[in-house]
Chains A and B, each alone.
Chain A
Amino acid sequence: MMDSIATSVVALAMVLSALFVVRAKNLVHAVLWLGISLAATAAFYGMQGASFLAGVQILTYVGGIVTLMIFGVMVTRRHEGSSVPSGHKNGFRALLTSLLFFGALAAAVQKTPLEPRPGAALQTTPELARALIDDYVLPFEVASLLLLAGIVGAVVIARRKDLETPATAEGRRAAMAEAHAARLAAMVTKETA
């Protein structure tokens, strides 16, 4: 009984904070609500008995992705100190589509007899570890490769072309001289002003 109440509270927290994510006016608030929603999901995993996943969820989502998102919001905003509007358009059509989607899903769930298989249980953390380095070692390595490709891709995409260092020593020297001259000019204008 206590258990089901706790699960209901956590589920409610997940849904409500998800609603705030899509409805918040200020983008920073939306990101923080996403963090709460993901933390509630971690709690849900813990209640289901997937404690390792709960930890991973906190570490990567709440610790990693939310921080990254906050950085993204901060770097790409134009006005210092002002709130970041997150934008809103065709609300009615979106509401209709998502309600229709949920209705179809609910109808399918109603029609399908979902009875848990007796004796089925989640893998424990040692079992997970063994599966990762045994049956799933190739996907594991591919995932690490994917992460590496993602990092390299992000750096290449976000790199500023105008700040690239020239390849030759000659070019580097010229660029340094140019930068020095620009600094000097800035100092001179500050002195005169």
Chain B
Amino acid sequence: MSSLSQFVLLAGVLFSIGLYGLMTRTHAIAMLLSIELMANAANVLFVVFAKAFGGAGQIFVLFALAITVAEVAVGLALVMLLYRRYDDTLLDLANEARE
């Protein structure tokens, strides 16, 4: 198995861990953390492939970083709104309150 395949599998492991966290966590900020892990795994893949095949993978990672920062800022603002409205940061609670 080449080292490239190993790196792709490494990114896959990181993404799967993020997926697991996203499905098990109930706290909104913990879910955001899991999303960060998944985005980070995608970035790792970009760098690995850019190294193996050339091209503009690193530029993509830079833009992905900018988008992630915006996402976290808006996500945390939503968490604060949730907290203020329901006095909690558990997403299930807000889901039930909606129904």
Contact = CB atoms under 8 A, between A and B. Distances in A.
Contacts of B24: 22, 88-91, 94
Nearest to A160: B84
Given A15-B17, A121-B51, A131-B59, A69 B80 contact: no
B77 A154 contact: yes
Given A49-B51, A72-B76, A34 B69 contact: no
Interface residues of B, number: 69
Interface of A is mostly: helix
Contact of A48 (B23, B47, B63): B47
Interface in B1-18: 2-5, 8-10, 12-18
B59 A136 contact: yes
Interface residues of A, number: 84
Contacts, number: 232
A94 B67 CA distance: 27
B76 A22 contact: no
A21 to B, nearest CB: 6
A131 B56 contact: yes
16 contacts: A21-B17, A50-B47, A68-B76, A88-B24, A94-B23, A98-B23, A99-B16, A102-B12, A105-B16, A106-B9, A109-B9, A114-B52, A136-B59, A147-B69, A150-B71, A154-B74
Interface of A: 4, 11, 14-15, 18-19, 21-22, 27, 30-31, 34, 37-38, 41, 44-45, 48-50, 52-53, 56-57, 60-61, 64-65, 68-69, 71-73, 75-76, 78, 84-91, 93-95, 97-99, 101-102, 105-106, 109-110, 114-117, 119-123, 128, 131-132, 135-136, 139, 143-144, 146-147, 149-151, 153-155, 157-158, 160
Interface of B: 2-5, 8-10, 12-21, 23-27, 29-30, 32-34, 36-37, 40, 43-44, 47-48, 50-54, 56-59, 61-63, 65-74, 76-81, 83-84, 87-90, 92
Given A61-B65, A105-B16, 6 more contacts: A72-B80, A91-B24, A114-B8, A123-B59, A147-B69, A158-B80
